[in-house]
Every structure is written in C-alpha cells, then in structure tokens.
Amino acid sequence: MIEYTGVFADVSQSPRAKRVVGVKETLKAIERDRAVTVVVARDAEPQVVAGVLGLAREKGLELVYADSMEFLGKACGIKVGAAVAALLAPATPL
C-alpha cells in the first residue's frame, strides 16, 4: 500500500489497451494475471472495492490510492468517477 502520484501519469497517458477501469474489468485483469498495479479511490465504498483489494493483496500486486473517484476517473480519461483501475502488463505475443 503506497501513495504515489507518479502512477497517475502512467494511467492518464497509457493507451486504453494498457489499462482497465472499473471493478469488473479490474477483477478480470487480476484473475488473468494481467494487472501489475491496482489503483483504488479513497472515497470508494469499501464493499465495492473489497474483492479487488483482497485479490490484489493475494496476488502481491502494487496497490496505489487515489484521492477520490473523481480524480481517478479523470486520470483514466473518463467523464465519471472510478472506484478502481489497473495498469496492465504488456501483452505477450502468441
């Protein structure tokens, strides 16, 4: 668990294929071992992000906290708030 604002530059400048936004997409990325960093908004409802936090900790992923859902949503380039997002590992060629 760290606070690191530098990751938000990675989130906001990352092509859409290298990040996911939202609880369902973040859970899928973690389950598929694609996520490397999980970003959680501090004001997100605990019951909404509990599954993401538990799985991220279980997998040993880096957890970063954003000040708010609004801030995280803007950093991800969406017009609404986001409870969670994940930066993805580069895709491996087949």
- pLDDT value of position 85: 97
Distances (CA, A) of 19 to 38, 46, 47, 77: 10, 22, 23, 11
* pLDDT, tens digit, 9 for 90 and up, residues 32-64: 999 999 999 999 999 999 999 999 999 999 999
Q: Which of 7 and 69 is assigned the larger pLDDT?
A: 69
More confident residue, 48 or 16: 48
Q: Which residue has the higher pLDDT, 34 or 10?
A: 34
pTM of the model: 0.82
pLDDT band at 90 (very low <50, low <70, confident <90, very high): confident
Residue 13 contacts residue 77 (beta carbons within 8 Å): no
